[in-house]
Structure 1
Amino acid sequence: MAITKRQITIVLSVLASLAHHPPKPPHSTNRSPQYLAALSSLAAYALHSSHVYSLPIPDIICALTLALPPLAGIVLETVLTLHNTLAQKGQLHSSRLFQITLTAFCIFETVLATLAGTHISPPGSLDCALRERWTELFSAKEGEKIARIQDGFECCGLRSVRDMAFPFPDAGHGSEACVVRYERDTACMDAWRGEERKVAIMLLVVPLAVFVWKVAILLSPSSSSAFLPSAIRLPSEDGQGGSRSRGAIEYHDAEGVAEEGEADSVRAEVNRLNKDSNVASYVEGGRVKAKNGLWQDHENWRETQ
């Protein structure tokens, strides 16, 4: 199957979004590339923030969230193109593949949204993971990472300005070295927790936005014929899969149709029913008369005996 122009546009737009230069769409009415590029940029920013501030959010969640928008765009476009191609050939059994693909993406998006939601609320439950992360950095003497957190939020230490702060205590200076050097009086816990929640919200928005985008694509008039089962599609005008569709039931006014002489009008149907009723009445009347005549002949015969 040949690669469509829209597939190429989606791939190029996603790659360009990572370089912060999203391309213009080939048509002004097609907003999908920009939409997916914006979601990719949002996920890329979340991944960057999580890495810079050493947040206790697994990198795999950020990476999968970053891959979701371009993957959804390419796969959905490919499946729709395949379905339309097979539909034109009269082979509509690809609907099962389409349903499996949608189900898989729904599960994927639900898992990502759930994992991201665990880093949003309640705030008190986040403190444990943050403290464990800071303790790991402090124990491994990751001074550069701790300094990056402290410089980013202009703070010192975790719960207090002396709690595992950088510079680390040594023979030359004590735990107050950060306060003395930078003249800061704020601990990092609150600001660090707020950054984790902000990144988690961005990671939650991306799968939800991709889901909304898929629903909008599938419900759009241009895509409805690609995923609706053939049993509920409206028949075409010429019966050969033409582009013009018609309703399954058509209504015509009796007066207008009668004046146009159409045979299937309501008045013509009523006339046919009346004619059939008259014929039935005539036949039934003849049958009754014949029966009465036979009965009268029988009575006359008995009287003569």
Structure 2
Amino acid sequence: MASQKTIIHFIILPILTILAIIAGVSLGQIRYLSLPTPASPIATLLLPILTGLTIQSSRSLLPSNTNTNNPPSKNTRSLPSWLFPTLLLTLTIYDTVLATLASTQLIPSDTQTCTLLTRWEHFFTAHDVERIRRIQDTHRCCGFKTLRHMPWPFPDNHGADACRDQYHRTRTCFGGWRGDLQLNAGAMLGVAVGCFLVKLFVVLAIYRRRHDPRMQRVRRQYAGLTENDDEVEDHRNGHGAGVQGRIEAPYRDEVATDDAENGTQGRDRNGNGPGPRAGGMVVQPSSMQGGGSEWRT
């Protein structure tokens, strides 16, 4: 099983990047064509960014040590464990609102037609040449419902057929403009659903790791000796050299240490020893012939 860091860096973040690009392109189209979308395109663009930041911070928000016998040190700084689920719940509500608003424009309806007509009438009444011209040039059309229905150039100065005669266009702008609205609403809906699925995947992955029997055995075995679950995971997969190095006990001369502490005879592992020992001193025969015993350390 891949570690949480690997999943975040190589699966989740690329997906969120793609969703952010889709939201950015949709934002540009909505602004360029002045589409009356009920959902805010800027809010849609912020959604994958906020989702990525929340998931990236999950490694520090989630408790990594489940052993109650080893409480965190006073010097350990960690955010409350309830903060990550709260952020996920907030973003899920955010997803739901955006998805609901975007879905209202996917299917053609009288409400959608009225919304587009109201927006076009506003541009025509205000003599907003730039916006009407961008829509007409994008779809190579004239007017809203007919070629003579509120086109640009405006009929009061050039006549109702000025757009058709000047640009030789034969179709209206209603169908193409409505298609733009539906396409971008679908993109916004896709971004919201994609972010929701990413969060769902993260929650399921974390739940699976927390309840994996193998992970629980390793965590209990090395409880308090690892910094986070990624190290436990790496150790279980055979890549935990750093963890293993911390749990291996240093070399200890049991005979010398025990004798020094207890003041007993210094003996080797076969039960043989040079003699009594007092205060860390050992009586050994002198290396010189004919001499007596002497104290040596």
Please report the TM-score for the alignment, with normalisation by the length of structure 1.
0.63
* Aligned equivalents of 2:184, 2:165: Cα separation in 1: 31
* Aligned equivalents of 1:190, 1:108: Cα separation in 2: 31
Q: Deviations over 1:107-159 (max 9, x none)?
A: 01000111111121243331000000000000111011101000101110000
Letter of the structure 1 residue corresponding to residue 33 of structure 2: Y
Q: Tell me the residue number matched to 1:202.
A: 187
* Aligned equivalents of 1:96, 1:32: Cα separation in 2: 22
Letter of the structure 2 residue corresponding to residue 187 of structure 1: T
Q: Deviations over 1:65-110 (max 9, x none)?
A: 0011111111222133222457587469944322212211110100
**1:32 Cα shift?**
2.2
Change beyond 3 A, Cα 1:81–1:224? farther
Q: Tell me the residue number matched to 1:214.
A: 199
**1:61 Cα shift?**
1.1
Long gaps (5+) in structure 1: 1-5, 7-25, 247-305
* Aligned equivalents of 2:142, 2:167: Cα separation in 1: 9
Secondary structure at the residue paired with 1:163?
Answer: coil
Match for residue 55 of structure 1 among 9, 19, 35: 35
Change beyond 3 A, Cα 1:93–1:64? closer
Match for residue 116 of structure 1 among 102, 105, 109: 102
Q: Deviations over 1:141-179 (max 9, x none)?
A: 1011101000101110000000000001234x2011000
2:80 counterpart of 1:97: no
Identity of aligned residues (%): 32
Runs of 4+ in 1 over 6 A off after TM superposition: 26-29
Letter of the structure 1 residue corresponding to residue 55 of structure 2: L
2:72 counterpart of 1:81: no
* Aligned equivalents of 1:157, 1:139: Cα separation in 2: 13
Q: With a CA cutoff of 8 Å and minimum separation of 6, indicate the structure with the bigger relative contact order.
A: 2
* Aligned equivalents of 1:79, 1:41: Cα separation in 2: 23
* 1:61–1:115 Cα contact (<8 Å) kept: no
2:223 counterpart of 1:240: yes
* Aligned equivalents of 2:83, 2:7: Cα separation in 1: 29
* Aligned equivalents of 2:220, 2:59: Cα separation in 1: 24
* 2:61–2:83 Cα contact (<8 Å) kept: no
Aligned length: 215
**1:28 Cα shift?**
11
* Aligned equivalents of 2:163, 2:152: Cα separation in 1: 6
Match for residue 161 of structure 2 among 161, 176, 193: 176
**1:27 Cα shift?**
9.3
Q: Deviations over 1:238-275 (max 9, x none)?
A: 262573799xxxxxxxxxxxxxxxxxxxxxxxxxxxxx
Match for residue 187 of structure 1 among 172, 176, 200: 172
Change beyond 3 A, Cα 1:93–1:135? closer
Q: Tell me the residue number matched to 2:11.
A: 31
Change beyond 3 A, Cα 1:28–1:65? closer
Please report the TM-score for the alignment, with normalisation by the length of structure 2.
0.64
Change beyond 3 A, Cα 1:83–1:225? farther
2:153 counterpart of 1:167: yes
Change beyond 3 A, Cα 1:29–1:99? closer
Long gaps (5+) in structure 2: 73-77, 227-231, 237-297
* Aligned equivalents of 2:9, 2:17: Cα separation in 1: 16
Letter of the structure 2 residue corresponding to residue 145 of structure 1: R
